[in-house]
Copies of this chain bind each other. A is one copy, B any other.
Amino acid sequence: MTTNSASVGILGATGYTGAELLRLLARHGSARVTCMTSERFAGQTIDRVFPHLAGRDLPTLSKIGEEDLGKLDVVFGCLPHGTSQEVIGAMPKGPKIVDLSADFRLKDPINYERTYGKPHAAVERQEAAVYGLTELAREAVKKTDLVANPGCYPTTTQLPLRPLLEAGLIKHDSIIIDAKSGVTGAGRAPKEGSLHTEVSEGLHAYGVSTHRHTPEIEQGLSESAGEPIAVTFTPHLVPMNRGILSTTYVHLKGSVVAEDLQDALEKRYQGEPFVKVLPFRSLPATRHVRGTNRCLIAVHPGRLPDRAILLSVTDNLVKGASGQALQNMNVMLDFPEAEGLKEEPLFP
């Protein structure tokens, strides 16, 4: 970084994570978007795609390849899974990269292939990538050129669970994560299942026992546990746009009580600007983090003596995607970590 203001590129700027980056970067004092790509809308201005972004001083959309990405300070990859590894694999060295796709999250190429059904196309970069759950990987993020930005479900579930595994407070074989997400998690692709008519006034589970975020969650938990962990993970689609709530059921080890989990989490996240451990038995709501990079965590004792319940909420487009990506950029470029991320929740 030799300039005062980092030049930022966004690959795939016309999805929701791209739009969200543009929203957040508008308030960033030291970064400036100088390149935005969209295969479908190249040549157009962003307000054709997102009228709410009209009036911003932003570059015209271009196709990947039309511009020299190497001259940028940072590149955010908001491309579809699969495409991302190809584009990033072919990128010149130089820019710091934060990839929001799933492509670089799984460290083990075999695990990747099993999960995504084909071999990875940029294995070297995959191996060098740092999994950017910022609060738990700050030092590594600082040193890397490629951050694999965590998924929305993995972010919301790992933040409460990993410190407890590291502290040896909970059993490894019985973690159950019941997660609920708003509709932005499905992206902007026009699909019947994402229509207002099909989503509103209703609720359903999906990807039961098979969702692709499961291996990503397990990778992180296993790292903290020091041994392979398998979890039960059930996502649900809730008729709202933003927000994830994870309700996580754990068995306590030996003489551990729920208050011990509270203490461990409070200690672990003390001073963190974005991860907040609420008072014991609190009831966090997704609407209370809307538009922010926050994760709220609460601990509840179980009705059965050796159990506890963890509640954690994020805005899936912010801490679960673009906000954490920006947080990672700030760490990589040695900017204040909260720069561009100071928004208060929009409620109601």
Interface residues of A (CB under 8 A from B): 16, 19, 22-23, 26-27, 50-56, 173-174, 176, 178, 180, 182-184, 188, 190-192, 194-206, 208-210, 214, 230-234, 236, 238-243, 245, 247, 249, 276, 278, 281, 283-291, 300-304, 307, 309, 311, 313, 342-348
Contacts and interface: CB of A to CB of B under 8 A. Distances in A.
A124 to B, nearest CB: 30
A249 B236 contact: no
A210 B288 CA distance: 23
Contacts of A198: 196, 287, 348
Contacts of A183: 195-197
A202 B199 CA distance: 14
A157 to B, nearest CB: 14
Given A54-B278, A203-B313, A346-B346, 9 more contacts: A23-B347, A52-B288, A52-B344, A178-B178, A209-B301, A233-B303, A234-B247, A238-B238, A239-B240
Contacts of A347: 19, 23, 50, 52
A285 B344 CA distance: 23
Given A203-B245, A288-B52, A346-B290, A188 B196 contact: no
15 contacts: A52-B347, A176-B176, A180-B238, A183-B195, A190-B191, A194-B195, A201-B240, A202-B288, A203-B240, A203-B245, A204-B285, A205-B283, A209-B309, A230-B304, A236-B245
A283 B291 CA distance: 25
A23 B206 contact: no
B190 A200 contact: no
B302 A238 contact: no
A309 B204 CA distance: 14
B195 A190 contact: yes
A238 B303 contact: no
Contact of A300 (B209, B241, B242): B209
B348 A241 contact: yes
Nearest to A347: B52
A242 B203 CA distance: 10
Contact of A303 (B51, B214, B249, B309): B214
Given A194-B195, A201-B240, A55 B309 contact: no
A15 to B, nearest CB: 11
Closest 6 CB pairs of A and B: A202-B287, A204-B285, A52-B288, A190-B190, A197-B348, A178-B178
Contact of A208 (B234, B278, B283, B313): B283
Given A285-B51, A311-B205, A249 B249 contact: yes
A197 B241 contact: yes
Contact of A232 (B55, B232, B285, B302): B302
Given A178-B247, A201-B201, A247-B234, A300 B208 contact: yes
